[in-house]
Amino acid sequence: MNKVQIEFHVLLGLIDTINQAKKEILVSWMSNQDVTEVLSYHNIKIEFFARHFGIKVIDYAIGVVQGKNKLGNCPVIGAMLMFFDKKNIPLDDIFMICVNLKNTLITMMLEKGMLTSTLLYEVSYLIDHNFSGVIHDYVHLHYDKTVEQRSCLIGENTLNIQTKTVNNECNPMIIEEFNSPVTPAYLYLQEIDLDMSMIDELGEIESETLDSLDLSDCMNVQAYQDVIVLLRDYLKVIHQLMEFQELAFTLTMLIDLLNTAAFELISEENRGVVTIYIKAIIDDLSTWRKSVFVNQDAENIHYLDQTLLSSIAQLQIMLSESDTDEMTEIEFF
């Protein structure tokens, strides 16, 4: 069913106030007893969830009100759902987390004397329609019985990721809500004027980064930083190509995840696995770069989006387990 998005006139008039109150909203949301109990039960640190999901969900909602983002089409939520799925979190627990964002917003507006019937309607519409997409996508991702576990070969690394089986091929599991229009690479390249030297430069950085990672069984601090530099260079190129906004958003999440995860706190056991996943991500980016911009044989230039989200979700789980911040007092920034 196609939904007509309303214009958030009252919310838009209060957007500066909401922006200034983001930390207050986040802390209140994360302090809710239902939310803390759910996150604690599933061994998810509140600070980690707040930093990598909570604040970004709030930012995305603000962008929807401002007309910058599309309602119900948030890559942050896509990554969050894959994270929840890999942690095997039931839908009723996800409901508790999501519904309390709306409760927090309404309570704050009521306490500040801002709440009117129109504002209540707009807040409810904004959060409820986003949450409707969350339910749809999570049911499809977590409860769809056609989804099975298979072992996929990514580059030279074998990883277990969720897939759908079509004609015995191993294809990334796709969340329908986040699908972009299917555009073949050869058609896309006919429509843009691209400086191929940028693409060639990315190839050189890929090789240098992989060489750095291959020097040892698991990465060191320098290799970790090299990966972040590579991803930033990718992001600079992709930002110049308006067609890949979702991929750019996803890469931004990945860079933020690696930047905020202290390498020294990653356990020795997890470092090897993190190295495997990062190598796989770089291999995926390299294959995507070649099939879209060099060979131009990709049937869909957006095919990498969901694979990257899945890899980020798995990294988030491993890195969240290494997060040792104490939560006796909630400080997110």
pLDDT in tens, the chain (333 residues): 455 567 899 999 999 999 999 999 999 999 999 999 999 998 888 988 898 789 888 998 998 899 888 776 666 677 787 788 878 888 889 889 989 999 999 999 999 999 999 999 999 999 888 777 777 777 776 666 434 433 333 344 444 433 333 333 333 333 343 445 688 999 988 888 888 888 888 888 888 777 777 765 567 888 888 888 888 888 888 888 778 877 888 888 888 888 877 788 777 777 887 888 888 888 888 899 899 999 999 999 988 887 787 777 778 777 766 554 444 344 554
- What's the whole-model pTM score? 0.60
Q: Write down the pLDDT at residue 121.
A: 94
Q: Write down the pLDDT at residue 331.
A: 54
The 10 Å CB-count burial string (b at 16+, else e) for 253-275 is bbbebbeebebeebeeebbebbb
Spatial distance between the Cα atoms of 213 and 309, rounded to a whole number of angstroms: 22
Spatial distance between the Cα atoms of 327 and 34, rounded to a whole number of angstroms: 16
Spatial distance between the Cα atoms of 322 and 309, rounded to a whole number of angstroms: 20
In which element (H, E) is residue 171 found? strand 169-172
Spatial distance between the Cα atoms of 129 and 8, rounded to a whole number of angstroms: 13
Q: Write down the pLDDT at residue 27.
A: 95
Specify the pairing of strand 169-172 against strand 148-154.
Answer: unpaired
- Count of C-beta atoms within a 10 Å radius of residue 223: 20
Q: Write down the pLDDT at residue 152.
A: 37
Contacts for 223 with CB less than 8 Å, ≥ 6 apart: 209, 212, 213, 215, 216
Q: Write down the pLDDT at residue 74.
A: 65
